[in-house]
Structure 1
């Protein structure tokens, strides 16, 4: 990786993000947070305050948003520093750090890119709906994606796997990557991930014992606690089934559909990873995570960025089509909200499940590509997938 130019570019990106975050916060009245103005960041901060005050995490709602904290107790422990700062500063710093994490992901994806190329691609990525939704809501997904990619692109490192376990402690769905690590032969990294995850669970019991007991025995199994599953923004298998059936699908049906699909994507990702394309392999593992989760809000799909960059090295047409889906926000081109998704006709279900269908199409494309020819000559050295190779 050429590091020349990274420091000044990173400074520019971070300063711009701080200003953007501060301006965005100033323009959103606190009572309108529910409409997207750092609503999730407000809930994170509230969760951190509850931990500091020794109060239950899941019994009350954030006064600014009327939403509950829904992540594991360890996530709330991590959010305690946010409760000590004024909200305007939290939004500015969070936006800056999220933007820096996005730039870091792009730098990992394109290891021969210059600093200014990373900056330009970062700016372009802001046009993708999952990315700008992540920033406006103040979501944590960009941080988790960056942490996971660090481990998955270099699992031979001494402490690889630890970040996967920590990410799973914040949001359970990254546990899918433990399976991926096992399938690619990195069992030591998978073991470290499980140990790190267990440590996060223990930390939750240490700092918020009552809330930890409630979460792991009751709240964990209440999927509806995070919002209506039929909403168009839920681009998961569970959400699609809810919209198709005009009601919450039976768990057995969901597992029968989502389980094999997620497993197929993990296996496919492992094959791609073993054949040299670590970036797309990790991306397919991430898609398995999004398919398997009962709720995958559109801002969870920030993995569209590294997946699209990985596709660029294989097929520019596929990459452009992929990015077009995530820039167009197709899933809200038809009536949505207040259960209007239950009234969709068959045609409306196609754009209404755009992210899910794009992922399934990618899976089919990747499987057919593997079947047609070997990737050994096209993927390049293990772990060195870059955006720039397509230009050679």
Structure 2
């Protein structure tokens, strides 16, 4: 009877939390009305049905146009065959599928190891995931961010489960769709995964050439003009730009120093390369991928808030480490960072991002990225092997913890030549 009552309570709790989450998501301020999927949809139709050029299209009433490489437009060609509502539903469906895959990879091993009820834990994790501001924005903009993260971390999954020889294609496809994931090819290189780096590079080049064959004029326009035209993307100083360049632009809106940005980027990349190689040497490639996502957000000239889905794996690593070690302070830190990333805090300075308070608050997500880059735990192999278990005592321990198939690398496994 007690078991049935407990199960009923969990069902009611999940229903209540899911309903509350859904109400919040459909009523929350700053809903983006699927702006970006509107750009994709308009671009593809302008190109295919109206005979226009990809990079000549601007969404009506704005100066925003298509900013991705031509292969991205080629991959979105099915949009020319469907209605606008269907395009929105496709965008939502792809993001839901990507989110489900990421939750399975990131939360699944933790849930199994702690011995929690899988359906209940995944339901709670799904609600928590949906409340993150980068996730909310990705859905409401109709962005491709979650799909790209899933493509990249599919390779991380392959590498961590002994199938590293097939890894790299996901990174290559993501890079051909949007240039930011190219830094993960850099991760493969700095950790000497030559085979996977070659596969990722070859996939990216092949997809880019396919885009060039499908749209030769657009390819020429992108690589010679559109790629360098930041006005197509937006103002560097806009508060949504949570990159190092955004911080510098808000300090000097009239003329942000390119020299200062370059120095900062080099420092960030040096820290990232050092920590990434250390993670790989310890057998913790999952943390290495998470660190690479952080570096990508920091060094990109423009990192809108919805791009910060790349921070989610780092949060997962932080929370997982706190539970593994029974470290209350680390768990509190994870929860605090999560709450800030749900808060829309930076928008308090949307209209005025100058002054000491704004320097701290308007750049809050940049400070989180930097803090995680320098302090994200790198776990020794004994913590990341499949038979590692949670502590049997301590503030974060859970009675009945049991080993599980982990989504982390195993020292000496066939993945030693892959990431």
In the alignment, structure 1 residue 377 sits paired with structure 2 residue 373 = no
Residue 49 of structure 1 deviates from its aligned partner by 2.0
SS at match of 1:296: coil
Question: In the alignment, which residue of structure 2 is the partner of 1:132?
Answer: 136
What is the TM-score when the length of structure 2 is the normalising length?
0.77
1:43 to 30, 39, 46: 39
Distance of 1:46 and 1:158 partners within structure 2: 39
Q: Which runs of 5 or more structure 2 residues have no equivalent in the other structure?
A: 1-17, 112-117, 323-330, 391-395, 402-419
Identify the match of residue 100 of structure 1 among 81, 94, 97.
97
Question: Would you say the 8 A contact 1:229–1:238 is kept in 2?
Answer: yes
In structure 2, relative to structure 1, the CA distance for the partners of 1:129 and 1:385 (3 Å cut) is farther
The reply to whether residue 362 of structure 1 matches residue 358 of structure 2 is no
Aligned length: 354
Per the TM alignment, residue 75 of structure 1 is displaced from its structure 2 partner at its CA by: 0.5
Q: Which consecutive unaligned segments of at least 5 residues does structure 1 have?
A: 1-15, 28-33
User: How far is 1:349 from its partner?
Assistant: 1.0
Identify the residue that residue 260 of structure 2 maps to in structure 1. Answer: 253
Alignment partners' CA distance in 1, 2:206 and 2:47: 18
Kindly report which structure 2 residues correspond to 1:1-392, keeping only aligned pairs within 5 A, or say none: 36-53=32-49, 54-63=51-60, 67-112=64-109, 113=111, 114-155=118-159, 156-315=163-322, 316-334=331-349, 336-337=350-351, 340-341=352-353, 344-366=354-376, 375-381=380-386, 391=398, 392=401
Give 3-state SS (helix, strand or coil) of 1:71's partner: coil
Which moves more between the two structures, 133-142 or 98-107?
Answer: 98-107
Q: Structure 1 length as normaliser, TM-score?
A: 0.83
Counterparts of 1:98 and 1:310, CA distance in 2: 22
> Shift in Å at residue 59 of structure 1?
1.6
Question: C-alpha root-mean-square deviation of aligned residues, in Å?
Answer: 2.8
| Higher RCO structure (Cα 8 Å, ≥6 apart) | 2
Alpha-carbon separation, structure 2, partners of 1:115 and 1:98: 20
Structure 1 64/274 Cα, relative in aligned 2: closer, same or farther at 3 Å?
farther
Max radius of gyration: which structure?
2
- Residue range with higher mean Cα deviation, 152-161 or 95-104: 152-161
- 2:389 & 2:277 partners in 1: Cα distance? 15
Q: Whole-Å Cα distance in 2 between the matches of residues 279 and 325 of structure 1?
A: 23
Distance 1:96 1:256, change over 3 A: same
What CA deviation, in whole Å up to 9, does each residue of 1:16-40 have, x standing for no partner?
A: 9xxx8xx97xx9xxxxxx9710000
Give SS of 1:126's match. Answer: helix
| Aligned-residue offset at 1:106 | 1.2
- Given that residues 297 and 310 in structure 2 are in contact (C-alpha distance below 8 angstroms), is that contact kept between their aligned partners in structure 1? no
Deviation larger for 134-143 or 302-311: 302-311
Per-residue CA deviation, residues 281-325 of structure 1 (Å, 9 max, x unaligned), is 211100111111100000000123222111112231231122122
Give a deviation string over 1:93-114, Cα, whole Å, max 9, x none.
3212212211210111133343
Q: 8 Å contact 2:167–2:196 — kept in the other structure?
A: yes
1:97 and 1:116, CA in 2 relative to 1: closer, same or farther beyond 3 A? farther
| Counterpart Cα distance in 1 of 2:81 and 2:255 | 40
Question: Aligned partners of 1:98, 1:361: CA distance in 2, in Å?
Answer: 28
* Alignment check: 8 A CA contact 1:272 1:281 kept: yes
**Any conservation in 1 of the 2:92–2:139 contact (CA below 8 Å)?**
yes
